[in-house]
Structure 1
Amino acid sequence: MINQMFNSELINLQANVDDEQQLFDLIGSDVIRKGYAKLGYISGLEKRELSYPTGLQFPDIPVALPHVDSKYIAKAFIYIARTKNVIKVKQMGDGREMTTNNFLFLGIKDASKQPTLLANMMNAFQNKNFVERFLSVNSRDEMFNLVTATFTKIEIETN
């Protein structure tokens, strides 16, 4: 299930970075150190974002969903990061510049599950109630509780 992809140790709501590259280095180093991603993960993020940007502008929140080829994933995960500073990213689809400080790094092992995962993430971020709660959360535990409660019914294979 998707909620098994969340782990409170993979939530950083105070990421102190100035740009996307610094964020990729910070999160990438963390998931590699914790055994969720393999070496090459950070360069994989950089290359994928250049070709296939992941920024999404929803009515009430801008979000980016960076992800890489499954060969860089050791164990399926979703890493939630909120940056202290707003960061420039490119929009999914048209590549236009946008800004956000909300990121969900998707560590997907089974690529066939990716469309379902993305669809469910997109549905959540179009829900005004969820977005208000997501934006108001200030602690790891609160965020973990919110996302696991929100995504409990979504079936996603994690291995």
Structure 2
Amino acid sequence: MLPIKLENIKLNQQYKNREDYFKKMGEQLFSAGLVNEGYSTSIINREEIYPTGLATGEINIAIPHTDYQFSRTTDIFITVLKTPIAFFRMDEPEKTVEVSIIVQILFDNPEKQPDILKELMEIITNQRVLKEMIAAQEPKEVLQHFQINN
């Protein structure tokens, strides 16, 4: 079962670039007590070494995450962007992809990671679902796509 809460879905968000996204999201997560000190630095550094952008078709996504030691929970945060931002590609790290949806994952236990990623991939590689997420007016419209498999 994917740990997605309605309040973790943000629509029509705007960021200058991926670093701006990571810093602002990291501050929010830290203020909420969901991550430990150093989370923002860790996720930015990890993204440099292991990029998370996926060229999935017309609508592209990123699935950033970092080491479980920085998280106090297992949670998924979905951000639908107003304007795409560049992420380096997972499969071709020297190239970038314009990402419209960011699915950020927090893990507090490394054993949860493979199952969550597997379940997520089935949903987020479906272009029809991604288009519906981009068109969503309310977070509950996005959430319904993740509850189908729950």
TM-score by length of 2: 0.89
Q: Which residue of 1 aligns with 2:131?
A: 132
2:8·2:77 contact (CA, 8 Å) conserved in 1? yes
Question: How many matched pairs?
Answer: 149
Q: Which residue of 2 aligns with 1:98?
A: 97
* Equivalent residues in 2 for 1:46-85, closer than 5 Å: 46-85=44-83
Q: Which residue of 2 aligns with 1:122?
A: 121
Structure 1's 88 and 132: CA in aligned 2 closer, same or farther, altered over 3 A? closer
Task: Give the C-alpha shift of residue 13 in structure 1.
Answer: 1.1
**In the TM superposition, what whole-angstrom CA distance separates every residue of 1:88-112 from its partner, at most 9, and x where no partner exists?**
1101132121111210000012212
- Between stretches 7-16 and 129-138, larger displacement belongs to 129-138
Runs of 5+ in structure 2 lacking a partner? none
Task: Give the C-alpha shift of residue 55 in structure 1.
Answer: 0.6
Runs of 5+ in structure 1 lacking a partner? 153-159
Question: What is the letter of the counterpart of residue 18 of structure 1?
Answer: K
Task: Give the C-alpha shift of residue 60 in structure 1.
Answer: 4.2
* Equivalent residues in 2 for 1:5-44, closer than 5 Å: 5-44=3-42
1:15·1:23 contact (CA, 8 Å) conserved in 2? no
Question: What is the letter of the counterpart of residue 117 of structure 1?
Answer: I
Question: What is the letter of the counterpart of residue 69 of structure 1?
Answer: D
Q: Counterparts of 1:128 and 1:83 in 2: how far apart (Å)? A: 16
TM-score by length of 1: 0.85
2:83·2:100 contact (CA, 8 Å) conserved in 1? yes
Task: Give the C-alpha shift of residue 46 in structure 1.
Answer: 0.4
Q: Counterparts of 1:133 and 1:85 in 2: how far apart (Å)? A: 16
Q: Counterparts of 1:134 and 1:115 in 2: how far apart (Å)? A: 24
Matched position secondary structure for 1:116: helix
Question: What is the letter of the counterpart of residue 99 of structure 1?
Answer: E
Question: What is the letter of the counterpart of residue 47 of structure 2?
Answer: E
